[in-house]
Amino acid sequence: MTTALHSNQAPAHLRGLLRHFADLRDGTHGDGAVTRADKERLFASAVGYLDPYARQALAEMNDALLLGTGTIAATGVTTSPLGGVAATWTLGWPEQKQAGIQPITLQAFYAHGFHHPHLRGGTVGDWPLNIFSDADATVELPTLRAIAAAELHNLVFQRDYRIVPATARSPGSSRAR
């Protein structure tokens, strides 16, 4: 399989994106799941893997920025009102509640009608740019990678997976599959 070869050679942070595009190309998810029920089982497993990392990211923010005043909550896998499944992690704190705004939110979701699951935040669209040195820029590399991967993901959904040569072409070929 073309993507397996490219996936093994790609940087670690891009391998999931290549798997995602291969799923679109092949009409499967994971190791060949085709039915909604099989994909939901994989989703539940993914939520289990993701849980400690989602909690870690929120705990780091709570400790460093909210001075330990926040509370982390997690839903586990739930059924959404529109027929999909989701898992949500939130970080709420007193000032956020007093301001009447939503908590910091991380969500894994597999919406009804989607081919496979996705991740999202509650409000994310812009990142702050406070870079005043090379050291400042270096620590933003994971953020830049996340933005670039999200951009390519959204561009695929404006057209389809064939805009990504690593997913659409055979190794060593310029021909689309």
Q: Is 112 helix (H, G, I), strand (E, B) or coil?
A: coil
Residue 162 lies in a domain: yes
At residue 89, what is the residue type?
Answer: W
Which one-letter DSSP state was computed for residue 88?
E
Using 50, 70 and 90 to split pLDDT, how confident is the model at 6? low
d(CA 84, CA 13): 27
The pTM of this model reads: 0.81
Residues 56, 106: one domain? yes
d(CA 121, CA 44): 19
Q: Model confidence over 150-175: pLDDT tens digits?
A: 888 888 888 888 888 888 765 555 55
- Name which residue leads in pLDDT, 70 or 143: 70
- Name which residue leads in pLDDT, 117 or 144: 117
Distances (CA, A) of 102 to 55, 67, 80, 97, 105: 17, 19, 18, 8, 8
At which of 86, 114, 142 does a domain end?
A: 114
Looking at the 3D structure of the chain, how many domains does it have? 2
Residue 77 lies in a domain: yes
With CA atoms as reference, report the closest residue to 26 among 162, 175, 173, 163: 162
Residue 168 lies in a domain: yes
d(CA 83, CA 25): 24
